[in-house]
Structure 1
Amino acid sequence: MSAEPPRAVLERLRAVDWDGDWDLAAGHSRSRALLMREHMRRAALWAQAYGAGEKWPFFDVTEFVDPAFRLDPDMESELEDYVAHNVGTPSTARTCRGAVRWAALRAESEVALPELPDPYEPLLLMYGRGGGYSIEEFIDLYGVMIPYGKFESNLNAEPFLTLAPSTLDALDAGAAGRITYYAKISEGYPRSGPRGILRRRLVGREAKTHDEAFTRALRWEPTEYLRLYELGHNDIDHVQISEREAAAFIESTVKRLGGSW
């Protein structure tokens, strides 16, 4: 779990464009959706641990972990002033307060904590990639809408643990259309450690096909692999994978090659 000081978290919030940069949000729609889903999963874990299911998914974890905890008065005044003048929706404001209070709790309190992932880091990253959200029948991320899902389904959702900015940027890069990811597998290169990954994008009403591989240049580049495979000209096999699995491969590749997106 993060030990980021509360002042640093507040500064991260100050850097967010809460007025709605639609282009920025739309350009990061895939990563923002993944980050929101990961928040929903983590929030469900913390809600389960502290009997806060009715408050899920946007709540102040500190209120349940240590009800007696109080933020430094000067920090609280500064936080409240910032939230009141910049953060629009009550739900988003609640999570901003919660993120700063959580950082302060981690830095100042000796209360025992369960081994659970940081409850606010996915949201903080999401805010920085295009602002907040609004709540209607779905969660509107200003570029994509995602369903709430049930508490239990979020509790058991597949984790999204690859939160490096370079990984998130790679997932967003040129990501127009409906995307399916594939891993190239063979002997010695299982699904968990494939030879490489590809994505097929179907764009527009006519579903124009774009096939791309994530290359050693750390970017998506056109590939003929899937077309040749369909024609029977490739011996290397492949399997469909999730976006989270694709993210894990991207992150490991960036680390291995020592580059940055």
Structure 2
Amino acid sequence: MGDRAASLVLERLRAVEWDGDWDGDWDDVLAHVMSRRLLMREYLRRAGMWAQAYSAETVWPFFDVVEYADPEFSLSPEVAAQLQEYLGRIIVTNAVKRTGTGAVRLAEFRARHPDALPDLPDLYEPLLLFYERGGAFRQDNAGFLDLTGVQVPPGTLAGRVAGPPLSSLDPDLLDAVDAEGRITYYTAADRQGPLLRRRVVRGVPYSEGFGRDSLRWEPTGALLPVSPEKVTAAELGMVWLDEMEAATLIWTAMADAKRWL
């Protein structure tokens, strides 16, 4: 049973088109920039929680948590051999290989010892989805994470743990946040209005609102601030929203709609 769970995660990794063997359309990778950034932020948050649970703060954020949950644990021989063979032929960073290994090992460990783990959200699922939506990440000498199309500072463990969670990993939500261009989210100052976004594509601005009935972005005539500065937004009766907060509003609308299906 445990090796079956691990094999399923390994199959997901095998299906990823990593940078080194990518032969598809880069536009497709760049189309997932926004959701990949949210997924990485959520992974960093969860990794902080798991690191705290096992006193592994010094190895945060990209680590194999099973090494700390049970240092004596070993994968079933067949899965271990398959994983080693696969990791030996893909061109990715050590951090990617380490977390891929952790995801496979945690799946088998959880299946074998379901009561041995803390009551925390799944550690590696956001990162697996991140890989599936566009491949690997890199880390530069300054520590910034290059997600292909956008850079994200890793921040601090405490800061990430204290940050807002991603409300859902549902593919519909991830698709809804993906769009071309530079995106800024707003809503009415009283937070009672619709979710709005200003999207700039090659210098051309677009104002769009998320329809609670249609569950998609639609053009709107709203005049949105050019920048998220508080004074500018306040002049138009709006407030800037962090992308995590915007994702929560989108998911709330989607969840409400799904309850009526």
Query: Which TM-score band (shorter chain)?
Result: 0.7 to 0.9
- How big is each residue's C-alpha offset from its partner over 1:241-260, in whole Å with a ceiling of 9 and x where there is no partner? 2211221222232333349x
State yes or no: 1:221 paired with 2:226: no
2:195 is paired with a residue whose SS is: strand
Aligned twin of 2:207: 211
State yes or no: 1:170 paired with 2:176: yes
Q: Which of 189, 194, 197 matches 1:196? A: 194
2:45–2:163 contact (8 Å) kept in structure 1: yes
State yes or no: 1:141 paired with 2:139: no
Residue identity in the other structure for 1:155: V
Q: CA deviation at 1:32?
A: 0.7
Change (3 A) 1:150 1:81: same
Residue identity in the other structure for 1:100: V
Q: CA deviation at 1:134?
A: 1.2
1:87–1:93 contact (8 Å) kept in structure 2: no
2:95 is paired with a residue whose SS is: helix
- How big is each residue's C-alpha offset from its partner over 1:84-141, in whole Å with a ceiling of 9 and x where there is no partner? 1125211101111100100101100255322211110110000000001111121111
- How big is each residue's C-alpha offset from its partner over 1:27-55, in whole Å with a ceiling of 9 and x where there is no partner? 11111111111111111111111111111
Aligned twin of 1:132: 136
- How big is each residue's C-alpha offset from its partner over 1:48-71, in whole Å with a ceiling of 9 and x where there is no partner? 111111111110001101112111
Equivalents in 1 of 2:66, 2:91: separation in Å?
20
State yes or no: 1:11 paired with 2:15: no
TM-score after normalising by structure 1: 0.83
Cα RMSD for the two superposed structures: 2.3
**Count, aligned residues:** 238
Show structure 2 runs of 5+ residues with no match: 225-236
1:66–1:111 contact (8 Å) kept in structure 2: no
Percent identical = 46
State yes or no: 1:33 paired with 2:37: yes
Aligned twin of 2:117: 113
Q: Which of 43, 48, 54 matches 1:44? A: 48
State yes or no: 1:53 paired with 2:19: no
Equivalents in 1 of 2:160, 2:255: separation in Å?
29
Equivalents in 2 of 1:258, 1:152: separation in Å?
35
Aligned twin of 1:154: 160
TM-score after normalising by structure 2: 0.83
Equivalents in 2 of 1:201, 1:23: separation in Å?
17
For residues 83-102 of structure 1, the aligned pairs below 5 Å read: 83-102=87-106
Q: CA deviation at 1:195?
A: 4.9
Equivalents in 2 of 1:72, 1:5: separation in Å?
11
2:155 is paired with a residue whose SS is: coil
